[in-house]
Every structure is written in C-alpha cells, then in structure tokens.
Amino acid sequence: MPAKKKARRSSPAPALTLNHAMVYSRDVPASVRFYAGVLGLTVLEEFQGHNTVVYARLKSPRANTTIALHMVAPGQELHTGGVRLYFETKDLDRLCQRLEAAGVKFSQLPKVMPWGWKHAYLDDPDGHEISLYWAGAKRIKKAR
C-alpha cells in the first residue's frame, strides 16, 4: 500500500488593511476644493512644488480612511475610468440635495440599485467617477 501524502497546510494570508487610494489629478488645488470643500473631507497635509500644491492627503470625517491626490507627472496623460471611489453616508438624500443646491452636477441622483444599495453618481473635477451611497448592514453581506 503506497504511503499517504500529508496534506500541506498553506500559511494564512497576512491581514491587510486598505490604507488609501491615490487619485491622480491635473489640478490638485481644484481637487482639494472638491474633496474638502464640497464633499467635506479633512485635509491632513499638502506638499508644494512648482508654485502649486502637487500632493494632498485627505481623511474621511467619520473614519480613518484617506485618499491622496497627486499631480499627474508633466507630459503624462491623465487616465480616468476603471476605478470608482465610494463614499458612504446614511444621509444620502440630504447630502445630494445640499450638493445639488451648491451646483454639483450628478450623472445619477440617489436611486436604489438592484443589489439593494442606494447610489448617486457624480464626477470629480478630473472626471474620476464618485459614488455617494448608503448600504447600511448590506455593505458586508452578499447581494443575493
């Protein structure tokens, strides 16, 4: 009788925490005005270069999540699409009404999606897609 091979146990994957998302921008000061002034994120730091802000890090007001805004390198083309930033708020309808009254243009006003989350969509000054949404307890559960 051939000897049984012992099943190899793989070591568990290291626990990861999403630190931040880097968002490239043609105009970091305009992006800071949008993310801080319009959406309400808090500016943690800004770095100057070439007589303008070339990098900024902002924090969500109710969590420890951050985004970094980084000037696209000279001569480089800015690519948008492929990634959407999601900001969750329980007061989605009220927030969207306030933003709309302030002149923000939405590609979609708050709407319940087939998976049960309520989303509104808009673009930042560089054309990066933003979702403002509310999922509540559904956020960490399967949609179906």
Please give the chain's pLDDT, 144 residues, in tens. Answer: 566 666 666 778 888 888 889 999 999 999 999 999 999 999 999 999 989 999 999 999 888 899 999 999 989 999 998 889 999 999 999 999 999 999 999 999 999 999 999 999 999 999 999 999 999 887 777 776
What one-character DSSP code corresponds to residue 96? H
Q: Is 79 a member of any domain?
A: no
Q: What's the pLDDT score for residue 89?
A: 94
- Provide the CATH number for the domain around residue 113: 3.10.180.10
68 and 88 together in one domain: no
Domain boundary among 50, 73, 96: 73
Give the type of residue at 83: V
Nearest to 34 by CA among 129, 121, 104: 104
50 and 106 together in one domain: no
Q: Is 55 a member of any domain?
A: yes
Q: What's the pLDDT score for residue 144?
A: 65
Whole domain around residue 122: which residue ranges? Answer: 84-144
Read out DSSP for 32-83? Answer: HIIIIIIT-PEEEEEEEETTEEEEEEEE-TTSS-EEEEEEPPTTPPP---S-
Q: Is 4 a member of any domain?
A: no
89 and 69 together in one domain: no
Per DSSP, what are the bridge partners of residue 106?
A: 122
- pTM of this prediction? 0.85
88 and 69 together in one domain: no
Give whole-number Cα distances, 24 to 11, 69, 112, in Å.
36, 6, 30
